[in-house]
Amino acid sequence: MRKFKIGILGATGNVGAQLLNLLESWDENKINLDGPPRLFGTKKSAGREIDFKNHEIIVQDSLPENFEGLDIILSTATSDVSEKLVPEALKRGVKLVIDTDSFYRMNESVPLITAGVNDHDIDWHKGIIAGPNCTTAQLILPLHALNKAFGLKRVVVSTYQAISGAGKGPMDLMIQDCQEVLKNPEYIKRIRDTQVAFNVIPMISSLLEDGYSKEERKVCIESRKMLNYPDLQLTCTAVRVPVMTGHSESVNIELKKSFNLNEVNEVLKNQEYIQLWEDWSKYPMPLDVAYTEPVHVGRVRIDQSQPNTLDMWVVADNLWIGAALNALRIAEKAIERGKV
Amino acid sequence: MRKFKIGILGATGNVGAQLLNLLESWDENKINLDGPPRLFGTKKSAGREIDFKNHEIIVQDSLPENFEGLDIILSTATSDVSEKLVPEALKRGVKLVIDTDSFYRMNESVPLITAGVNDHDIDWHKGIIAGPNCTTAQLILPLHALNKAFGLKRVVVSTYQAISGAGKGPMDLMIQDCQEVLKNPEYIKRIRDTQVAFNVIPMISSLLEDGYSKEERKVCIESRKMLNYPDLQLTCTAVRVPVMTGHSESVNIELKKSFNLNEVNEVLKNQEYIQLWEDWSKYPMPLDVAYTEPVHVGRVRIDQSQPNTLDMWVVADNLWIGAALNALRIAEKAIERGKV
């Protein structure tokens, strides 16, 4: 059985840590490692030791020459790093770079993949496969299932996004801010412009010229690309909430064909990587879904405000399904399809 | 100038406290008090002293005979108390009971009022006026303004609701839970079934037979009643978030007539009690709007997913606009219209 030398770029970040956690217990029949993964970080973190299956791995500086000999790189670096280093990796013989960053997502020569949704697009990769934004990744699984079965007409999404999506710094800051304002719990107040603690912030990433945020735009354009549905009608309001891990989404979906609730539930249950919460008296919440693999779909109900329409509630671990887990599933599927 | 004897039922609760705060500084030319308000609470809280403009007022037991001689009662009691005591108050000559509770809201002989929206309905009251659910109260102001100008076609709402709407007990519990889980900030975990701290809960009030919650149903039926628009197409997902005070709402609105953004902004700016945040780089957040009077409407942008549609973000102090402030505005308008 073929073995693969794997590297992780951005290994010391939030998603990098989750990649390592997941890879440690990944089925060896699916991704057969040729030695422990090689880890790459910034110059500052180079030299750090990270444990992997009881081996101490030394983090290397992210220099192109260090990528020699690797088969697959899982990259969770920032856009500027992706832009510069991914082509260097390919030049040095790396067969596949799976990049969770946004830089290559909308590039027409790069497939954008959520595992379980458009795996067939893996087949035309030219060395790079991009993974979507975390918010899109969890949304697209139920959308794909419903699109196949009934045809999507229009989607309205409002998000409740965890702070871990913003990185380690903002996570620590939220904890600090909580501790600080709780010194006077009678009067919970603002102590910082960007305070998420005891607040909600309806602006994620930057503001665009039409009043939407970049995050909201990503959900629209990435969904259209993955579903190969360029004129899908979709709008989004993306909001940060004081939750550590686990994005939630309130989703209103108008379908082209009529349906009954049983049919919808069957379709969702049969979709790879979805866990349906069919009993309305229970519903997924971020505290419960952190560090779980499925996209949790609950509160699926018929919206009486117009025909052929549903409301649902979608929760997933944003670092897993939205980045690390999806990257590993793509690697597994690329291997299975003989595309590495 | 006519003076009014006012009583507050439920004076020691969350909303009762805000009623007293607001009444202390209310324009005396609008509501001219005949002596300090009389305060009513449960048997347990009877005898407590509460300060009002440097008078100590003793909380009385909520017994019908204690309502004698009052002109107006502002009631923030629970449904069972409203059901029993409001008719008793009317029997004893109280001219107007303004009830923030749900018990009378959908009663056909009781006007349901958000001040600034359907003030004319004050004119047909028969002794009772109900105020809407807090979530509906802040939503209905922009909906009313847009309905008048362009006609509402369909509305999709997702809410981000503060814990103060659930009462004092849940507020204290959320603070306690935050303090408890922050003892180990590396691992924020669930310590309670109903935990809001570092979580979001997509179920407010009870579950109904069609999968919607009672809170979501209220938003639909109360909006239709206040707008006198029985077949308004509206759907809602109501979610609790770890915020102390200030409900937020992500609202997608399809209008009947076409519009441009300037026209919409003008309509919203001209609506009584709305503050429009026209500059997209700024947006209302619950930490900033607690204890402010307006309904804050921001992020008003054109939803390109279908014609004649808007996305917007609506934030307000849920205890004020959603209960106490609206009750006092109704009292003021009822006096002005000669309906007390």
Dist. CA A255–CA A97, nearest whole Å: 36
- Nearest CA to B298 out of A202, A99, A24, A227 is that of A202
> So what's the pLDDT on residue B150?
98
- Cβ distance B305 to A202 less than 8 Å, yes or no, reads no
Q: What is the mean pLDDT of residues A321-335?
A: 97
Residue A239 and residue A260 in one domain: yes
Confirm if B312 and B158 have CB atoms less than 8 A apart.
Answer: no
> So what's the pLDDT on residue B318?
95
**C-alpha pair distances (Å), A164 with each of A23, A160, A244, A248, B240:** 20, 12, 6, 13, 20
pLDDT in tens, A263-317: 999 999 999 999 999 999 999 999 999 999 999 999 999 999 999 999 999 999 9
Confirm if A188 and A195 have CB atoms less than 8 A apart.
Answer: no
> So what's the pLDDT on residue B100?
96
- Cβ distance A233 to B199 less than 8 Å, yes or no, reads no
* Structural domain of A298: 136-317
- Per-residue pLDDT in tens (0 to 9) along chain B, 340 residues: 899 999 999 999 889 999 999 999 999 999 999 999 999 999 999 999 999 999 999 999 999 999 999 999 999 998 999 999 999 999 999 999 999 999 999 999 999 999 999 999 999 999 999 999 999 999 999 999 999 999 999 999 999 999 998 988 999 999 999 999 999 988 889 999 999 999 999 999 999 999 999 999 999 999 999 999 999 999 999 999 999 999 999 999 999 999 999 999 999 999 999 999 999 999 999 999 999 999 999 999 999 999 999 999 999 999 999 999 999 999 999 999 999 9
Return the residue matching tokens 């180079």.
A46
Average pLDDT, chain A: 96
Whether the CB of B170 is below 8 Å from some CB of chain A: the reply is: no
> So what's the pLDDT on residue A68?
96
Dist. CA B91–CA B86, nearest whole Å: 9
Indicate whether B220 belongs to any domain.
yes
Name the token pair of A216: 């909201």
Catalytic residue among A134, A220, A236, A296: A134
* φ/ψ (deg, to 5) at B329: -65, -40
Residue B162 and residue B214 in one domain: yes
Name the token pair of A290: 């952190």
Whether the CB of B235 is below 8 Å from some CB of chain A: the reply is: yes
Indicate whether B1 belongs to any domain.
no
- Contact partners, residue B63, CB within 8 Å, separation at least 6: none
Q: What is the mean pLDDT of residues A135-148?
A: 98
Confirm if B305 and A235 have CB atoms less than 8 A apart.
Answer: yes
- Contact partners, residue A279, CB within 8 Å, separation at least 6: none
Taking only Cα atoms into account, the Rg of chain A, rounded to an integer number of angstroms, comes to 20
> So what's the pLDDT on residue A36?
95
Interface size between A and B, measured as CB pairs under 8 A:
159
**C-alpha pair distances (Å), A259 with each of A138, A146, A244, B210:** 23, 10, 36, 16
Whether the CB of A33 is below 8 Å from some CB of chain B: the reply is: no
- Contact partners, residue A340, CB within 8 Å, separation at least 6: A4, A71, A72, A95, A96, A331, A334
Dist. CA B48–CA B56, nearest whole Å: 9
- Contact partners, residue B123, CB within 8 Å, separation at least 6: B337, B339
Residue B290 and residue B154 in one domain: yes
Active-site annotation holds for A134: yes
Residue A220 and residue A287 in one domain: yes
* φ/ψ (deg, to 5) at A241: -125, 160
Going by pLDDT thresholds of 50, 70 and 90, the confidence category of residue A140 is very high
Residue B21 and residue B126 in one domain: yes
What CATH number has the domain bearing residue A173?
Answer: 3.30.360.10
Confirm if A245 and A318 have CB atoms less than 8 A apart.
Answer: yes
Q: At B197, is the secondary structure helix, strand, or coil?
A: coil
Where are the extended beta strands (E) located within chain A? Answer: 6-9, 38-41, 49-52, 55-58, 60-61, 72-75, 96-99, 128-130, 152-160, 233-237, 247-255, 274-276, 295-302, 309-316
Residue A119 and residue A216 in one domain: no
**C-alpha pair distances (Å), A242 with each of A191, A195, A248, B157, B200:** 15, 9, 12, 20, 9
Residue B146 and residue B13 in one domain: no
- Nearest CA to B290 out of B326, B314, B317 is that of B317
Indicate whether B122 belongs to any domain.
yes
Confirm if B211 and A280 have CB atoms less than 8 A apart.
Answer: yes
Name the token pair of B160: 């981000």
Residue A88 and residue A46 in one domain: yes
Residue B61 and residue B161 in one domain: no
Helices (H), B212-257: 214-226
Indicate whether A272 belongs to any domain.
yes
**CB-nearest partner of A185 from B175, B195, B248:** B175
∠ Cα A3 A104 A340 (to 5°): 20
CB contacts under 8 A, B 56-95 vs A, are none
> So what's the pLDDT on residue A172?
94
Helical axes A134-150 vs A214-227, angle rounded to 10°: 40
**CB-nearest partner of A286 from B200, B302, B306:** B200
Taking 90 as the threshold, does the pLDDT of residue A14 lie above it? no
Indicate whether B261 belongs to any domain.
yes
| Nearest residue of B to residue A192, measured between CA atoms | B287
Going by pLDDT thresholds of 50, 70 and 90, the confidence category of residue A1 is confident
Q: At B266, is the secondary structure helix, strand, or coil?
A: helix
Taking 90 as the threshold, does the pLDDT of residue A168 lie above it? no
Residue A206 and residue A301 in one domain: yes
Residue A68 and residue A190 in one domain: no
Taking 90 as the threshold, does the pLDDT of residue A247 lie above it? yes
Dist. CA A52–CA B163, nearest whole Å: 42
What is the secondary structure of B284-309 as a DSSP string? --HHHHTT--SEEEEEEEE-TTSTTE
Name the token pair of A94: 């790396």
Indicate whether A1 belongs to any domain.
no
Residue A151 and residue A269 in one domain: yes
**CB-nearest partner of A241 from B154, B241, B313:** B241
Question: How many Cβ atoms from other residues are within 10 Å of residue B323's Cβ?
Answer: 27
Indicate whether B108 belongs to any domain.
yes
- Nearest CA to B281 out of A211, A195, A194, A217 is that of A211
Length of chain B: 340
- Cβ distance B179 to A156 less than 8 Å, yes or no, reads no
Confirm if A20 and A51 have CB atoms less than 8 A apart.
Answer: no
Where are the extended beta strands (E) located within chain B? Answer: 6-9, 38-41, 49-52, 55-58, 60-61, 72-75, 96-99, 128-130, 152-160, 233-237, 247-255, 274-277, 295-302, 309-316
Indicate whether B173 belongs to any domain.
yes
Taking 90 as the threshold, does the pLDDT of residue A167 lie above it? no
- Cβ distance A235 to B201 less than 8 Å, yes or no, reads no
Active-site annotation holds for A120: no
What CATH number has the domain bearing residue A63?
Answer: 3.40.50.720
Domain total in chain B: 2
Residues of B with catalytic function: 134, 247
Whether the CB of B191 is below 8 Å from some CB of chain A: the reply is: no
